[in-house]
Amino acid sequence: MRVLRAIKLLLIISVTVFAVAGGYVSFIVQQRQEALREVSRYNVVWAVSQALPEYIRLENRIAAYGLGLADKKERVVGLVSLGSDLPIALGTVQGIVKRVAAGGYPSRPDFEIIALKAGDEVVGASQGGDGDELVFVTSDAQLLHFGAEQVRPQGVAAGGMAGIKLGPQATVIFFGAVDPASNVVVVTVSTPLDTLPGTDPGRAKVSALREFPGKGRATGGVRAHSFLKGEAALALAWVGQAPALAVGTDGAGRTLPDAGAKRDGSGTPLDGVVGSVGRSL
């Protein structure tokens, strides 16, 4: 009898959790629809596919609570192995780069691995050796890549060093480490300034990283995207091994232009808003 009661209690709790999750998703979708009605003259119809990104957001929030990040306004930017003998590479919004020396990590469940300046935050993290290329892409479409050996590994308490020289009001929107011997591509997406975020698909291009000349650390990089009239910043950038795959904010796959575009081209129109780019969906 006790086992049966325990099973019944577990079922009740499970049903309650799913009901709360469903209610949360419905509430978020309703909020978004009301906001869209305020700014659009059209009748906005909710699609079932909208539930997927909302459910993913709920999963991320639950995961954040599990990692102790819920009250710290932090987000996951990368996964690394503390058991590896390879340094961890970090890049920040303000253009700082750091490679964290492998081993010797504090014996605590969570700890900081870079001393950030006020207003700064990490935008990307990866793990690799001296043969990798570290890549920055900025909001004003500048790309800089240089050998990882130019950044001496430091301890967890260090604050890193200058990675890229930023232009006025520019910020870093992508940082990562790649293998220069592989087929690495650069994806950039630009959108008009006078549209609401997530409403205009914008223009995208896919170029080979080898088309971008390398420069030394702490320099300004090279042009990675040409803006058309009404454009002034990149909405998204990604650098990684081909093929690059994109997904929309509605959870559906998006088609990116063919690779091989000029490094400073303006791109081609997209058929839908791109939410993120990576190697797998």
Q: Which pLDDT value is given to residue 72?
A: 59
How would residue 279 be classed by pLDDT, with cut points 50, 70 and 90? confident
233 pLDDT above the threshold of 90: yes
Q: Do 247 and 264 contact (CB within 8 A), yes or no?
A: no
Mean pLDDT of all residues in 35-52: 50
Is 59 among the domain residues?
A: yes
251 pLDDT above the threshold of 70: yes
Looking at the structure, do residues 60 and 152 belong to the same domain, yes or no?
A: no
Looking at the structure, do residues 101 and 237 belong to the same domain, yes or no?
A: yes
Q: Residue 279 contacts by C-beta under 8 Å, 6 or more apart in sequence?
A: 240, 241, 243, 244, 245
Is 233 among the domain residues?
A: yes
Is 76 among the domain residues?
A: no
Quote the tokens at residue 245.
């795959």
CATH code of 239's domain: 2.120.10.90
Looking at the structure, do residues 234 and 134 belong to the same domain, yes or no?
A: yes
Is 188 among the domain residues?
A: yes
Looking at the structure, do residues 209 and 101 belong to the same domain, yes or no?
A: yes
195 pLDDT above the threshold of 80: no
Looking at the structure, do residues 231 and 270 belong to the same domain, yes or no?
A: yes
Looking at the structure, do residues 100 and 164 belong to the same domain, yes or no?
A: yes
Q: Which pLDDT value is given to residue 141?
A: 97
261 pLDDT above the threshold of 90: yes
Mean pLDDT of all residues in 202-207: 96
What are the tens digits of pLDDT across the range 94-111? Answer: 999 999 999 889 988 889
Is 174 among the domain residues?
A: yes
What is the span of the domain harbouring residue 194? 88-278
Give the CA distances from residue 9 to residues 5, 53, 220, in Å, rounded to whole numbers and listed in that order: 6, 30, 61
Is 78 among the domain residues?
A: no
Is 198 among the domain residues?
A: yes
Looking at the structure, do residues 142 and 60 belong to the same domain, yes or no?
A: no
40 pLDDT above the threshold of 50: no
Looking at the structure, do residues 137 and 224 belong to the same domain, yes or no?
A: yes
Looking at the structure, do residues 243 and 212 belong to the same domain, yes or no?
A: yes
How would residue 42 be classed by pLDDT, with cut points 50, 70 and 90? very low
Task: Provide the number of structural domains found in the chain.
Answer: 2
What are the tens digits of pLDDT across the range 4-31? Answer: 676 667 777 777 777 777 777 667 666 6
How would residue 169 be classed by pLDDT, with cut points 50, 70 and 90? very high
Instruction: Render the chain in DSSP notation, one character per residue.
Output: -HHHHHHHHHHHHHHHHHHHHHHHHHHHHHHHHHHHHHH-SS-----GGGHHHHHHHHHHHHHHHHHT-TTTT--------TT-SSPEEEEETTSEEEEEPSS---SSSS--SS-PPTT--EEEEEE--TTSEEEEEETTSEEEEEEGGGS--B-TT---EE-----TT--EEEEEEE-TTS-EEEEEEE--TTS-TTT---EEEEEEGGGS----TTS--EE-----TT--SEEEEEEEESPPEEE-TTS-EEPPPPB---TT---EE-SS---EEES--
Determine the Cα–Cα distance for residues 277 and 275; give it in Å rounded to an integer: 7
Q: Which pLDDT value is given to residue 46?
A: 46
Q: Which pLDDT value is given to residue 78?
A: 87
How would residue 34 be classed by pLDDT, with cut points 50, 70 and 90? low
Looking at the structure, do residues 128 and 207 belong to the same domain, yes or no?
A: yes
Is 74 among the domain residues?
A: no
How would residue 252 be classed by pLDDT, with cut points 50, 70 and 90? confident
What are the tens digits of pLDDT across the range 67-126? Answer: 565 555 677 888 899 999 999 999 999 999 999 999 889 988 889 999 999 999 999 999
The CA radius of gyration of the chain, in Å to the nearest whole number, is: 22
How would residue 45 be classed by pLDDT, with cut points 50, 70 and 90? very low
Looking at the structure, do residues 166 and 228 belong to the same domain, yes or no?
A: yes
Q: Which pLDDT value is given to residue 182?
A: 95
Q: Do 251 and 188 contact (CB within 8 A), yes or no?
A: no
Looking at the structure, do residues 221 and 266 belong to the same domain, yes or no?
A: yes
The model's pTM: 0.76
Q: Which pLDDT value is given to residue 41?
A: 46
